[in-house]
Structure 1
Amino acid sequence: MVDVPALVAQAREGRPRAVARLISLVEGASPQLREVMAELAPLTGGAYVVGLTGSPGVGKSTSTSALVTAYRRAGKRVGVLAVDPSSPFSGGALLGDRVRMADHASDPGVYIRSMATRGHLGGLARSAPQAIRVLDAAGCEVVLVETVGVGQSEVEIAGQADTSVVLLAPGMGDGIQAAKAGILEIGDVYVVNKADRDGAEATARELNHMLGLGEARAPGDWRPPIVKTVASRGEGVEELVEALEKHRAWAAEHGVLAERRRDRAAREVETIALTALRGRIGGLPGDRRLDALAERITAGALDPYAAADELLAGLTAG
């Protein structure tokens, strides 16, 4: 058994091993997970969570690394969750984005963790919300969450971040992908990375046009800016940080930040409850209650919806 209070205290002191152990407890769905979350709850709420998404090859990892450099220059502690595809053999993170962020490996003010999706769709790992809580409680002032890079299914990041950044690159058909994938609805800031390549201006114009075709905005509403960067050289990164801070200030002033965090907590509770219920249902095949309901359905004495209601009532009562 782990001494959770001591582990949390060590994480608060910035000890990377303690942070790593806590996230491992989260990822492994440890029996002590409830105790971990209870200890962390009073310590959370201070981190600014930035999500970065976009198709493979647009430079998410390079952009994340550039943002880490910028925020560290400003004296902020930074946490990074880099969500990778799962290995089909071990279930672990396949690519290991930490390799691309080796420049920050020795910086005690940066914590970088690769997480595997383990088959969870939406571009994030299922345990990402709890891992964000760990980094928040450990004193990270900024938490950067980089999605797996699978394209059109990556809209889940909008529900986990205070500010969502959508990255595109010229010559990759990303403008069309943006229209198809619905990411015009999730981006708070858009980045055309690799802006030194041919077609960068055209990509920015096309994106600006599509954003203009979106929903009508009332005066005072946020209009997502388009920032051009060459993240590999650090160009445009200061402008990106400025855009992020402007959105953060606007969201705080208009109550959007608080609303997003409430919605995030509500979804987290819902997911935990549904996972627990799914676990109970998973043990039902062969259960006499399920068999009895199935017999009544096949006999025409009960319809499947009424049977499901009866089953759920029994599960929640039990």
Structure 2
Amino acid sequence: MHELVRRIVEGDKRAAARAITHIENDAPQKHEILRDLHSHTGHAYLVGLTGSPGAGKSSLTDRVITYLRKELGKKVGVIAVDPTSPFTGGAILGDRVRMGSHALDPDVFIRSMGTRGSLGGLARTTQEAIRVLDAWGCDVILIETVGVGQSELDIMNVADSTVVVLNPSAGDHIQTMKAGIMEIADLFVINKADLPGADKTDREVSNMLDLMGHVPWRPPVTRTISRDNKGIPEFWAKVQDHFAYLQDSGEWDKRRLKRRQDEVLAIVEGQLTRRVKELTQQDSSWGGKIAQVEQGKLDPYSIAEELVGKLLR
């Protein structure tokens, strides 16, 4: 077993942080760490929070951490996916600033991850970082997406329960629903519910849900005011209702099996992409071939087929 993995399983917070850094930087020991971690994962409950920028996801996450720690005694992990800094290539860390009150809690682990150009609201290494926190012993892992609106659908492939956070004053909830988030939501929460428009937003969401007809799970709509710490227990009770539904219906096992399948395919895709890049770097004629494509003397499909052929040798 890798030394970092041994320390992570024993609850070493610094080891978990170092392992995630290795994963983000694609360090040589990354695959060994992930392989050794695998048998210690699969225990945490993964809750994704998504929605448009400004909906209050970070403030809500902060209040949920407090509730889970003080009222339920849960060990909590947070993956907060921030926009990538154009200067450093790292996360801008806005979410960690908002959750700073938990920094000294030994049973809370908050990690900001830059998107690094990844679409879909999540960093490419999000799932691998979740595995580290799972092995570290988290009971609940909250995954907060970057807030990119219409592209924010990847969370459904990562979380057990997906929460869509709406802001009644933003006027963007119908557009959010048109973007496809309606289909991925397991729960809607109207945050900043003291602002004008909360009742209207609630009605519109409910009307949209009515159009879906009979479904095994109808996403509930709840309200919170994270600034005043209101509605958090009621919100988490709805999340727990969905957890119970997943367990009772068999959806829990189905979702996790599908996630493992997608994860394996993503790993294969990543390794193939890396191998193709290596082939192009080793091919001294690569630049000339691309120039010929630009000149119309070669087509990109023929070059792609040539690369695939080299991979299959």
Instruction: Output the TM-score relative to the length of structure 2.
Output: 0.91
CA 1:303/1:20 → structure 2, altered by over 3 Å: closer, same or farther? closer
Conservation of the 8 A alpha-carbon contact between 1:163 and 1:244: yes
Conservation of the 8 A alpha-carbon contact between 1:14 and 1:108: no
CA 1:92/1:200 → structure 2, altered by over 3 Å: closer, same or farther? same
Aligned partner of 2:7: which letter?
Answer: Q
Alignment-derived partner of residue 28 in structure 1? 25
For 2:5 and 2:283, locate their aligned partners in 1 and report how far apart those are by CA, in whole Å.
41
1:1-318 residue pairs with structure 2 within 5 A? 5-72=2-69, 73-214=71-212, 216-218=213-215, 221-283=216-278, 284=280, 287=283, 308-309=304-305, 311-317=307-313
Q: Which deviates more from structure 2 when the two are superposed, residues 203-212 or residues 94-103?
A: 94-103
Shift of 1:287: 3.0
Q: CA RMSD in A?
A: 2.5
Shift of 1:52: 0.2
CA 1:253/1:306 → structure 2, altered by over 3 Å: closer, same or farther? farther
For 1:68 and 1:145, locate their aligned partners in 2 and report how far apart those are by CA, in whole Å.
12
Conservation of the 8 A alpha-carbon contact between 2:163 and 2:185: yes
Shift of 1:307: 6.3
Shift of 1:303: 8.3
Q: How many residues align?
A: 310
For 2:60 and 2:116, locate their aligned partners in 1 and report how far apart those are by CA, in whole Å.
24
For 1:64 and 1:282, locate their aligned partners in 2 and report how far apart those are by CA, in whole Å.
39
Shift of 1:292: 11
Shift of 1:43: 0.2
Consecutive unaligned residues in structure 2, runs of 5 or more: none
Aligned partner of 2:190: which letter?
Answer: V
For 1:171 and 1:18, locate their aligned partners in 2 and report how far apart those are by CA, in whole Å.
42
Shift of 1:277: 1.3
CA 1:285/1:173 → structure 2, altered by over 3 Å: closer, same or farther? same
Shift of 1:291: 9.3
For 2:137 and 2:177, locate their aligned partners in 1 and report how far apart those are by CA, in whole Å.
37
For 1:258 and 1:108, locate their aligned partners in 2 and report how far apart those are by CA, in whole Å.
31
CA 1:90/1:293 → structure 2, altered by over 3 Å: closer, same or farther? closer
CA deviations over 1:145-179 (Å, ceiling 9, x no partner): 00001111111111110000000011211222222
CA 1:99/1:261 → structure 2, altered by over 3 Å: closer, same or farther? same
Q: Which deviates more from structure 2 when the two are superposed, residues 189-198 or residues 91-100?
A: 91-100
2:184 is paired with a residue whose SS is coil
Shift of 1:289: 8.8
CA deviations over 1:107-137 (Å, ceiling 9, x no partner): 1110001110011111000000000000001
Instruction: Output the TM-score relative to the length of structure 1.
Output: 0.90
Shift of 1:304: 6.5
Shift of 1:89: 0.9
Conservation of the 8 A alpha-carbon contact between 2:276 and 2:307: no
Conservation of the 8 A alpha-carbon contact between 1:290 and 1:311: no
For 2:255 and 2:129, locate their aligned partners in 1 and report how far apart those are by CA, in whole Å.
18
Consecutive unaligned residues in structure 1, runs of 5 or more: none
Q: Percent identity?
A: 49
